[in-house]
Structure 1
């Protein structure tokens, strides 16, 4: 029997932490009995949309323009092997970790999201259409 990862189960494949200040589109009400730490979404599209939106915020607000900068903020070294994460995502995008990327570019946003979903969950179970719909929700 295959156990579904928490991120997939919560429709939050980026494993975005719950914060009462954030009111994500499609976010389900906080329920500490079901999930204490992470957001839950009504569909994977809304969880992936939140992932893409957060990366856009990192780029605009913190001027993080490289895979290295984005992933170091997304997955801090206090909880992750961030250098391995950066290298995996950069390789999936076909860029070097310090290359400049634009999260507003649909192909970059979807590529980043797919690589993050894969890394966070150990699998990437969604068809391309899910990522397309998520991007169109931005």
Structure 2
């Protein structure tokens, strides 16, 4: 399981529909925008570890964590985190888990965060999404579970 974590001063995700776009998740103020990729061999235990790490990692202003300041998180599934573009001109997605495997594990990360007390907004799995954010820093880290 792989996550790209950005410290933000607000973020939103909109889904493209036939009649325009609809905002499906939004956080305001300081928080984290998290793109989550799932590989074939990933497990619910890894999802739980990722949730605990996201809730406790001290990357907010003043080296605080979301748990310390009750900061919100926007969690968005992102299979392209497992893209491989080392050969040719087109990336392959072979390492990314199919939706039937990935969606429940991304949902597990969200459920575990909420069980820890986090306010979590999400994108919509498999949708054509537009993510907007203000990266604070800029500050971006990659987590591997």
Same fold (TM over 0.5): no
What TM-score results when the alignment is normalised by the length of structure 2? Answer: 0.30
Structure with bigger helix share is 1
* Greater gyration radius: 2
Select the structure with the greater relative contact order (CA < 8 A; seq sep ≥ 6).
Answer: 2
Structure number with the higher strand fraction is 2
TM-score, normalised relative to structure 1: 0.31
